[in-house]
Structure 1
Amino acid sequence: MDSQFWHKECEEKIYTMWRSKKEFSPQYDKLKETFSMVMPPPNVTGILHMGHALNNSLQDVIVRYHRMKGMAVLWLPGTDHAGIATQNVVERQLNNEGLGRHDIGREKFLERTWLVKENHHNIIKSQLEKMGCSCDWEHERFTMDEGASRAVREAFVTLYEKGLIYKGKYLVNYCYKCGTALSDDEVEYDSIQGKLYHVRYPYADGLGYITVATTRPETMFGDVAVAVHPEDKRYKNIVGTILCIPLTDRKIPIIADSFVDREFGTGMVKITPAHDTNDWECGIRNNLEMVNILNPDGTLNGNCPQKYRGILASDARDIIVKDLEEGGFITEINDHVHDVGHCYRCHTVIEPYLSDQWFVKMKGLAKKALGALKRNDIVFYPRRWENTYCHWLETIRDWCISRQLWWGHRIPVWYCKDCGKVIVSREDPSCCPKCHKTNLLQDNDVLDTWFSSWLWPFSTLGWPDKTADLDNFFPTSTLVSAYDIIFFWISRMIMSSKEFLGKVPFRDIVITGLVRDIKGRKMAKSLGNGIDPNEIIDQYGADAMKFTLCYVTTLGQDLLIEKNLFNLGSRFTNKIWNAARFLLLNLEGRNIRTIDESEYSIMDRWIYGRFNYACQKISYSIENYKFSDAAQCIYSFFWNDFCDWYIESSKQKLLHGTKEEKDKAISILMDMLEASMRLMHPFLSFITEEIYQKLPNHMGDVIVAQYPIFDKTRCYDDAHILVTSLQDVVRTVRVVRNNLQIAPDKKLKVVFRPSEVFLASDLIESEKGFISSLIGASIFIVDKESTQPINGAFPVNGLGYECFVFVREAINVDSEIERLKADTVKAKKALSLVEAKLANQSFIMNARQAAIEKEQAKRKEFLEEIRKNNIHIELLSSF
């Protein structure tokens, strides 16, 4: 073996081997249990970020584990066409060329979009391969491939035939920059500093005015009423009075409606049903006119005075406010912080917009999805996210599924231009079924991207056809996804699956947190705080990245990371490599044989017992999605138990034992190393495969080897008790060395005296050389019945024993005491300066918080130094 693990060279070689042997594909057998997962499809225009790395790392652990458990495993990868995001990419390209999409037409625009899709798809696929994702590329899907498109059309037509899809004029969230409607879930709300404008609306008879407060004065041209609360005594006598809209000749009434907040502003609210959600409901209740003042491009339309037409609503605000002020209509303007909706893709301010859209009726679908949770057909990990799921389903509104885009699944609806017939069809019609003429026009809109994504767990397996994949792998077993798309995707998949197949699409729903920077900020290009998974893999390796992410993640909680964090995984892979290399270097001339249990020493029985319990805990943790618990158990077992204790204890036999002892030692070590590679493989896939192939006792490839299982007959608790006592002895002496600051190269003399009840005396005797190497001391064991006093040594009591550490032979006690006293004096002087600074009110009032915290940290450091020094002086003075 090389002196270190060259991950860049090994990872590509090993991944190619796995794929060439089709070891990612499900080896289906009717006798085998199946396990299946669908990969949440990343947007095809993006590149994978650290959130994807976390999500796919956890999925890879799960599928590798179940594959090694002997199941037929399918992990199905794919990408999402991401309607708005992808169209934005292409439109930006056209803008750079001085063109718009209408300049080149729909067909040419779609050709360019497919090229963008292919380019980004290849990047995403290469990233997943570099991460080591063991998904079955033979099953890869895309939300606009032929099979998915058939499924989308089948779903649309079926829902339409059931009366669950309809078209109607409705108030939708509209992004004029993207040029499309958005669902409620695609709107992100941010608090912004705005203004609250108090505007006078004159009475039509010219005798006075009322005042309303609004944050959007430009929408007043769409006002159809002013509302007051019916119980507001201030305005009870003016309900029904007619007002004039400022800057126009339109007249509107004062009405009463209980949705008005009497405490906000003046308690009078202008009603603009075509541009405000609450006003829309009020307009429906009061049978008010709907006046739309916007064009699709966000400019003011012909329902506004001529002066303002063609101006973006956001730009028109300042002009209108100025004209209102000059006309005497503004009474005051106040600063006002309020939540404003933004497009989740381009972050443009959303305008509520009245338009014709296609909708899905959701309440019936939501009821089925809620029932699935109540019947325990689905389980969230952690369970608290069930509350989020229920809240959204219980308050659900109809889903606007039409988008004014060109990229996406075009709505399968045609209109006969001769007789007006509306045709909804699974196949493209050639003529009108009513008048039989061919003058047909397809609906221009496409479906919301999520309409194809909500079919993902079964459309990818061949639905609406009855396929072998659908029979074998649906419902899928587990879904791993972040909490931010419980609304967008998870609940919708459950609704569609229940509706079209009568089953839930998966049972276990594993919710991850979001990956943020070390300050808790969302990673973004604008902040420059993003971490590229490729960069981490290049520097540390794919195993180091995956293991670190698993080690530190807590389900459902956001993960704060920085690049240096991945040193954890890197150090561990180095430890694994060095341990394996050391053992393989000791193979020369050795006879590897099967060791019978009757030949085990206490240390042998202990390591097999520790391994056995590690198998139990890791399997339980993976099956219950406690990835951190599993990773930490792997780390603790391999680094601490196997390397630091068992390999170290075996070195005496490997170096100085007889041929038989060496053969036995290396045989057990190889057996344990081989089993450890299988145990760790789901978390550290490349390095375990590379080492596994070099072992004299390996069988095939570790990726498809049997995962170690817990065996209740191999716990060896008696050996664990004895070795724990040995470890306690070692730690006791190490604490003395540390407390007295004795350098590692200084050899000590230690006398060990067990009590009558101490059970590990024979083990201490047999492992005396091993213990000596660990504590850097010569150890002498006296009879447990001896009562002779031991003088000139530092005594330490343990559980059932005494240790006497002779430190004067290792250090000059008097000189050490003087040094510690001098250091204490210096620390006290420094402490007094810091405390004086912290007591200075001028410093506290004027210094930055970071500077204050720095001084507080210094104080803590000096106090700790003084405390430790005093302890050491007291110890050294005692003998």
Structure 2
Amino acid sequence: MTDTLASSYDPKQFETRLYEEWERSGVFKPRGEGEPYTILLPPPNVTGTLHMGHAFQHTLQDALVRYHRMRGFDALWQMGTDHAGIATEMVVARNLSRDGVTRDDLGRDGFIAKVWEWKQQSGDTIERQMRRLGTSGDWTRSVFTMDPMAADAVVEAFVRLHEQGLIYRGQRLVNWDPVLKTAISDLEVVNEEEDGFLWSISYPLTDGSGELVVATTRPETMLGDVAVMVHPQDERYTHLIGKTVTLPLSGREIPVIADDYVDREFGTGVVKVTPAHDFNDYAVGQRHGLPLINIFTPVAAVNDNAPEKYRGLDRYEARKVVLADLEAAGRLVEAKPHKLQVPRGDRTGQVIEPYLTDQWFVKMDGFAARGLELAEKGDVKFVPPNWINTYRHWMENIQDWCISRQLWWGHRIPAWYDDDGRIFVGRDEDEIRAKHGLGTEVNLSQDSDVLETWFSSALWPFSTMGWPNQALMDERGFDRYVPSSVLVTGFDIIFFWVARMIMATDHFTGRVPFRDIYITGLIRDSHGQKMSKSKGNVLDPLDLIDGISLEELLDKRTSGLMQPKMAEKIEKATRKEFPQGIPAFGADALRFTIAALATHGRDIKFDLGRAEGYKNFCNKLWNATRFVLMNTEGASFAGAPQPRTDAERWILSRLATVAAEAETHFAAYRFDLLSQALYEFAWNDFCDWFVELAKPALNGDDADAARSTRHTLLYVLERLLSLLHPLIPFVTEELWLQIALKLGIAETTIMLRPYPQAADFAGQDYATAEADVEWLKEMVTVLRRIRSELNVAPSKTVPLLVADCSAADRERVARFDSQLRFLTRLDGIDVLASDADAPAAATGLVGELKLLVPLEGLVDLDAERVRLDKEIKRVDGEIAKCHNKLASETFVANAPAAVVEQERKRLADWNLQREALITQRAKLD
């Protein structure tokens, strides 16, 4: 027995050590030889920590990289992090506030210096956590989106697009966060259903002929109304189209217009039009040439475009005053409860305002047409393929892209203004002055806005490769690694990132960014609920890897919660689900769980019980390896074995089959099927059956068979560990290091071993051995079941009688005599011409072969009679089910022929079993 493999499986003893050795050895770096295989890591926010979504996608990416690295590909996993403009500003501003310092106190340069200081101290947390998961990316090439190389690409892209007339500055409606005082993207807006009201307000017709009652959920915005609108076919109002109403509280005269957008069934069928404060109204305003009246300041207070009485009021305070004034004027008709979809910023939780402001935009029509063409032609391929429909829908309904943000942290927009407001765009101020002949007497000030992070992320496939600097592109392998092989990402950012990378990479480089786009589902809890802090169901991957006590888990989940009721709710749920805390499963068990759950569905339910099961799987591998090492002490081998026994030939045949399955499943991104195939082979075929079937040879008198079996044990285990390595890298490496010594393997790590492939086993034909061993397995299973039912002590040997032997069965009984005796504790096997004269015996069937274990001296005959009666009754029930199915004309007519035939075979098998049981029961009488 080797003394270098611990007696028990404990991932804490080797996971961190192995990772440090891997990274130090440089094995994660691309080799520069072989066919390139590249994956782009979707750059996580530098402010973030590893969450289950990261763990899910990073595990699958790592499995692909490790698999292709073992197959001899020049594997590059391009690492990096995103500067996360809004999130980072919030984190640093929050830290400063603890010392009583604000962003404005420091000024722009001082604040940015503080951000960089924070980044150096705390910003690399997520990369350290990714290492705990086993991420085998090339960290030496890691790119931060604010690094000079990436920043140069951002400036170059902006300038080129502006020169091409594809970037412009204009006044448009955007999502506005009044706390952050910046525009935000649709992805950063969370729509939540909340309780609100629908207010009905009467707008008097200017000619005094009546009134129109308008329904609205935001009465304060009526101060910016520019029209009221009805459906052109609504007979209630068609006679009023073209007239005007007088806007209550403001006194402005505004028109009555008609538009198909109006839902005649909603409210009164009359709606107010406020183009500066509603996206749908903005579109209506564009169609009808209506003016835009913005009534809010950047902090969502009423501005000077409203009547003086309301100026300076916060939007919700203004709502109260407006409603009170309407009621006093007799214009408030009704207020009734109404469910609303309220947009809130995901960072601040504040209600987002559609806000009219000057921003920078990218024209998207041409980009979208080209991006759609690339997908439709198959230059980029979605997996599963149905996701192209989501992509197509967005491309066909695309809007111009707002790329500016009113922040300090980020890529500052390369545009300068002179004192007359003229705009100059260039790579730097010197270039602008030279290009436009501006002397030093002309004052220039740079735009204070920064680009949204999705702009720099859109350039990720080539900004990480040194573009546009040709020397850097050559150094980093642009021509070799672009396009990458696959992008692994969630469906929720197909619009915001995937599509933009396709469009930007094609536009600037003439290449697609990646060949395949593997779209994963989103991780949910075991009940299918979205994981969120407010629900208290968030799982931290590191807690699953390292374990966490109940007290620590409660502290983590409830810290920072301002509402005591919410904290109480989360604590109660946590105590119920994790009364003992979360045990340490190790990285491998978490990774295997993720792979097993990675179906092609939209949602992934994470079940902690699966992680416990896969920890047991790792433990099973550990113990099987200890058995192999113990039984190969002092032995060494080279090359593939030349099998001497049927058991060896069977396991080698199964190894060839599972290698082919792994190849198929990797190619199809079916990690769920891959993990299932490898689990069944490892647990059932190798750890259970082959270890058992090897024992007769290891303990027998045939020295050649024993030596061959030892070689096969080592060889198949080494190949099995290689098959499993991409999914569970740590335990496979730790075990492999012991096995490799005995096989004289030159590689120093399993990562450099060739991955088993179907071609490795070409010309190997062990079909006969496979059929024979399946027969042997069934014999062993039936005999062990009989021993168990009879409660025979493990140490006691029993006789076996066999009857109704075919020639093949007779030959197999003779050939496997020693194995059957060893594995089922038999003291002899006798072949009967017929079972008619056999003594009372417990029976079993293997095909048509009858197995009889004489009962004399083994059991209480009365108890055996009762057992047989119960078994006959059970079999009668199964026969009745088969009869009922086959008697059904619907089943016979509609079921596939193979299913019907299978049911007939089941009936025949049950009848054979019944016949044997009846015969045995009769003998007991």
Q: TM-score, normalised by structure 1?
A: 0.89
Who is 2:466 aligned against? 462
The equivalent position to 2:754 in structure 1, one of 694, 703, 706, is: 706
The 10-residue stretch of structure 1 (529-538 or 230-239) with the greater mean CA deviation from structure 2: 230-239
Distance 1:70 1:261, change over 3 A: same
Whole-angstrom CA distance in 1 between matches of 2:384 and 2:821 = 47
SS in 1 for 2:478: helix
C-alpha contact (below 8 Å) 1:748/1:807 kept by paired residues? no
SS in 2 for 1:140: strand
Question: Is 1:504 matched with 2:503?
Answer: no
1:648-687 equivalences under 5 Å are: 648-687=692-731
SS in 1 for 2:212: strand
SS in 2 for 1:485: helix
Distance 1:306 1:806, change over 3 A: farther
Question: Deviation at 1:362?
Answer: 0.9
The 10-residue stretch of structure 1 (794-803 or 75-84) with the greater mean CA deviation from structure 2: 794-803
C-alpha contact (below 8 Å) 1:511/1:556 kept by paired residues? no
Who is 1:765 aligned against? 814
Question: Deviation at 1:345?
Answer: 3.0
Whole-angstrom CA distance in 1 between matches of 2:823 and 2:229 = 83
Who is 1:412 aligned against? 414
Question: Is 1:363 matched with 2:365?
Answer: yes
The 10-residue stretch of structure 1 (525-534 or 498-507) with the greater mean CA deviation from structure 2: 525-534
1:278-293 equivalences under 5 Å are: 278-293=280-295
Question: Is 1:180 matched with 2:182?
Answer: yes
Who is 1:58 aligned against? 60
Who is 1:804 aligned against? 852
Question: Is 1:439 matched with 2:447?
Answer: no
Whole-angstrom CA distance in 2 between matches of 1:589 and 1:242 = 100
Question: Deviation at 1:177?
Answer: 1.8
The equivalent position to 1:520 in structure 2, one of 528, 531, 536, is: 528
> One-letter code of the match for 1:477?
S
Question: Is 1:427 matched with 2:431?
Answer: no
Question: Is 1:450 matched with 2:454?
Answer: yes
Distance 1:638 1:236, change over 3 A: closer
Question: Is 1:789 matched with 2:837?
Answer: yes
Question: Deviation at 1:444?
Answer: 1.0
Who is 1:582 aligned against? 627
C-alpha contact (below 8 Å) 2:644/2:704 kept by paired residues? no
Who is 2:313 aligned against? 311
C-alpha contact (below 8 Å) 2:293/2:305 kept by paired residues? yes
Question: Is 1:10 matched with 2:18?
Answer: no
Question: Is 1:475 matched with 2:525?
Answer: no
SS in 2 for 1:714: coil
Question: Deviation at 1:240?
Answer: 3.1
Whole-angstrom CA distance in 2 between matches of 1:444 and 1:572 = 57
1:222-233 equivalences under 5 Å are: 222-233=224-235
Whole-angstrom CA distance in 2 between matches of 1:876 and 1:737 = 16
C-alpha contact (below 8 Å) 2:79/2:142 kept by paired residues? yes
C-alpha contact (below 8 Å) 2:790/2:859 kept by paired residues? no
1:251-650 equivalences under 5 Å are: 251-417=253-419, 419-429=420-430, 432=433, 433-436=436-439, 437-466=441-470, 467-468=473-474, 469-538=477-546, 539-590=584-635, 592=637, 597=642, 599-650=643-694
Whole-angstrom CA distance in 2 between matches of 1:758 and 1:414 = 94
Who is 2:896 aligned against? none
Distance 1:657 1:86, change over 3 A: farther
Question: Deviation at 1:626?
Answer: 0.8
The 10-residue stretch of structure 1 (695-704 or 438-447) with the greater mean CA deviation from structure 2: 695-704
Who is 1:844 aligned against? none
Distance 1:748 1:514, change over 3 A: farther
Question: Is 1:719 matched with 2:769?
Answer: yes
Who is 1:838 aligned against? none
Distance 1:304 1:769, change over 3 A: farther
Whole-angstrom CA distance in 2 between matches of 1:530 and 1:288 = 48
C-alpha contact (below 8 Å) 1:60/1:134 kept by paired residues? yes
Question: Deviation at 1:206?
Answer: 4.8
Who is 1:814 aligned against? 862
Question: Deviation at 1:386?
Answer: 1.2
Question: Deviation at 1:279?
Answer: 1.3
Count, aligned residues: 826
> One-letter code of the match for 1:547?
F
Distance 1:252 1:744, change over 3 A: farther
Question: Deviation at 1:786?
Answer: 4.9
Whole-angstrom CA distance in 1 between matches of 2:682 and 2:389 = 39
Whole-angstrom CA distance in 2 between matches of 1:280 and 1:438 = 38
SS in 2 for 1:689: helix
Question: Deviation at 1:312?
Answer: 2.4
C-alpha contact (below 8 Å) 2:803/2:835 kept by paired residues? no
Whole-angstrom CA distance in 2 between matches of 1:737 and 1:198 = 82
Who is 2:156 aligned against? 154
Whole-angstrom CA distance in 1 between matches of 2:403 and 2:856 = 83
> One-letter code of the match for 1:525?
K
Structure 2's unaligned 5+ residue stretches are 547-583, 871-913
SS in 2 for 1:667: helix
Question: Is 1:136 matched with 2:185?
Answer: no
Q: TM-score, normalised by structure 2?
A: 0.85
Who is 2:557 aligned against? none
The 10-residue stretch of structure 1 (239-248 or 484-493) with the greater mean CA deviation from structure 2: 239-248
- Deviation per residue, 1:773-828 (Å, 9 max, x gap): 55566562415x55653231233333241122445654435357779999xxxxxx
Question: Deviation at 1:271?
Answer: 0.8
Distance 1:625 1:807, change over 3 A: farther
Question: Deviation at 1:124?
Answer: 0.9
Distance 1:57 1:255, change over 3 A: same
C-alpha contact (below 8 Å) 2:544/2:586 kept by paired residues? yes
SS in 2 for 1:137: strand
Distance 1:239 1:588, change over 3 A: closer
SS in 2 for 1:314: helix
Question: Deviation at 1:238?
Answer: 2.2
- Deviation per residue, 1:124-174 (Å, 9 max, x gap): 111111111110011100111111101111111111111111111111111
Distance 1:224 1:658, change over 3 A: same
Question: Deviation at 1:342?
Answer: 2.3
C-alpha contact (below 8 Å) 2:790/2:858 kept by paired residues? no
Whole-angstrom CA distance in 2 between matches of 1:576 and 1:189 = 47
Whole-angstrom CA distance in 2 between matches of 1:571 and 1:318 = 62
The equivalent position to 2:74 in structure 1, one of 72, 75, 88, is: 72
- Deviation per residue, 1:545-600 (Å, 9 max, x gap): 11121122213432111433211221111111111111112233446466763x52
Whole-angstrom CA distance in 1 between matches of 2:339 and 2:920 = 65
SS in 2 for 1:575: helix
Q: What percentage of aligned pairs have identical amino acids?
A: 41
Structure 1's unaligned 5+ residue stretches are 823-869
The 10-residue stretch of structure 1 (672-681 or 467-476) with the greater mean CA deviation from structure 2: 672-681
C-alpha contact (below 8 Å) 2:644/2:705 kept by paired residues? no
Distance 1:249 1:639, change over 3 A: same
Whole-angstrom CA distance in 1 between matches of 2:399 and 2:329 = 42
Who is 2:802 aligned against? 753
Supply the RMSD in Å over aligned alpha carbons.
2.7
- Deviation per residue, 1:476-511 (Å, 9 max, x gap): 011111111111111111111111111111111111
Distance 1:741 1:117, change over 3 A: farther
